[in-house]
Amino acid sequence: MSRVQLLGALAVGFAVAVWYQPELASQTRAPRVRPPAELLRLSLDAEKVGLATPFTGITVNGQVEPGLFGIRATGVSTAPVRTAATAFLASLTPSQRDKTTYAVDADEWRKWMNQSFYVRQGVSFLEMSAPQREAAFGLVRASLSAKGLKLTRDIMKLNETLAELNDNNFGEYGEWQYHITVMGTPSATEPWGWQFDGHHAVINYFVLGDQVVMTPYFTGSEPVIARSGKYAGTSILQDEQRQGLAFITALDDSQRSRAILKGSKTENLALTEAWRDNVVLDYAGIRAADLSAGQRDQLMALVGLYVNNLDDGHARVKMEEVGAHLDRTWFAWVGGTRPGSVFYYRIHSPVILIEFDHQRPANLRHLASDPNVPSAEHIHTVVRTPNGNDYGKDLLRQHYLQHPHQATAP
């Protein structure tokens, strides 16, 4: 289905969508309604810029470091994911399936975006029947750990809270404003994968044999804690926040001076969100090689908070890969180090990049005491696989070298 055809589907979720104008939001709550055609134009404009250059991957100097990711057996079965994906596709109507399936090497992998206005491909939870939703969650459940599934569902619930806090604006926000696509055909031997895309939750899940790559992986929310409404008590990313702060404060003065790039934080700093597949980002901060054994364990535990959202077996595989490059892992910090401080931290190695960022108020500016400074009520996190293997692209490249395929039709 083309993006022009998607205009007809925009009535589900976007027909009454609104978008707060930043220059007015601190003064008024009145939203400006944006028609579907404008939402589509904004989305296409973002894609044009984001896809202007072919995929390279995140690197430290513009050159991909070779030999980091090989096609190999992990001993962890992907059969449950394959079975769940097949069941999900079978639950869809022919028209739903047509707009949900793409080639494994399609640009649709890169067409994800955190912002709520983005016109997404795939089938929306809003248009799914109850059995279809259960099949969709079956796919997510088979692919993620219990922790990862809970985080995904809690983000969806907090998006419902966000709608409630914006005068019940369920046209733009809400629990079901999320889409799923499937790339390629679920297979035990051929590459394939799936994508979950929506406000504050993006999962890219590539499968080749028994190998899995689950990046780019975006999680976040505004608010991060629901203090009222249908899902009061729901909270996310508190461990990632708390353990990040615990790690920086566990460093001695000399180590902390190397880790902290800047002692105050006044802006959004996440560097590898949507359309940033080819960021050139040098290592910064302090190397894990310069940490004590206990501090290295603490850093690995912090990494595990993110990696362990993946299904348990493949999370172990990934953590082994991270551990093999621990001496080349860097930790950088921006912001305060006292309880209640806002901050940004980054964990960066040849095989993983993690960002945690307290963001400025965006869709709750009308409730912020100061809408122009970052808040612990708005958090973004991103996990990436540097050196060309986001979306499993380096594995896919190697697979094509070993098993030449006919070029995919546009």
Write out pLDDT tens, residues 203-239.
999 999 999 999 999 999 999 999 999 999 999 999 9
User: Does residue 303 fall inside a structural domain?
Assistant: yes
Provide the domain count of the chain.
1
Give the whole-number percent of the chain exceeding pLDDT 70: 91
Q: What pLDDT was estimated at residue 39?
A: 87
Cα torsion 85, 89, 91, 93 to 10°: value is: 170
Of the candidates 311, 392, 318, the residue with the CA atom closest to the CA atom of residue 354 = 318
Average pLDDT over residues 35-58: 92
Give the whole-number percent of the chain exceeding pLDDT 90: 87
Cα torsion 203, 207, 211, 212 to 10°: value is: 0
The pTM score is 0.92
Give, in degrees to the nearest 5, the angle at Cα 350 between 349 and 354.
45
Q: What pLDDT was estimated at residue 404?
A: 83
The answer to which of 4-8, 83-87, 295-299 has the lowest mean pLDDT is: 4-8
User: Does residue 300 fall inside a structural domain?
Assistant: yes
- pLDDT of 30 strictly over 50: no
Q: What pLDDT was estimated at residue 285?
A: 98
Amino acid at 382: V
Q: What pLDDT was estimated at residue 36?
A: 85
- Whole-number Cα distances in Å, 83 to 10, 103, 170, 179, 261: 30, 19, 33, 19, 46
- pLDDT of 75 strictly over 80: yes
Structural domain for 244, as ranges: 238-391
- pLDDT of 304 strictly over 50: yes
Q: How far apart are the first and last CA of the chain?
A: 12
DSSP string, 168-184: S-TTT--TT-EEEEEES
User: Does residue 103 fall inside a structural domain?
Assistant: no
User: Does residue 244 fall inside a structural domain?
Assistant: yes
User: Does residue 58 fall inside a structural domain?
Assistant: no
Q: What pLDDT was estimated at residue 382?
A: 98
User: Does residue 39 fall inside a structural domain?
Assistant: no
The answer to which of 74-78, 168-172, 219-223 has the lowest mean pLDDT is: 168-172
In the structure encoding, which two tokens stand for residue 331, read together? 């930790």
Write out pLDDT tens, residues 332-391.
999 999 999 999 999 999 999 999 999 999 999 999 999 999 999 999 999 999 999 999
Write out pLDDT tens, residues 305-331.
999 999 999 999 999 999 999 999 999
- pLDDT of 2 strictly over 70: no
Write out pLDDT tens, residues 97-143.
999 999 999 999 999 999 988 999 999 999 999 999 999 999 999 99
Integer Cα distance of 148 and 150 in angstroms: 5
User: Does residue 161 fall inside a structural domain?
Assistant: no
Q: What pLDDT was estimated at residue 191?
A: 98
Mean pLDDT, the chain, rounded, equals 92
Q: What pLDDT was estimated at residue 35?
A: 81
Q: What pLDDT was estimated at residue 309?
A: 98
Of the candidates 100, 93, 103, 147, the residue with the CA atom closest to the CA atom of residue 123 = 100
User: Does residue 378 fall inside a structural domain?
Assistant: yes
Listed in order, strand segments (DSSP E) in 283-377 are 286-287, 330-335, 343-348, 353-358
Average pLDDT over residues 269-289: 98
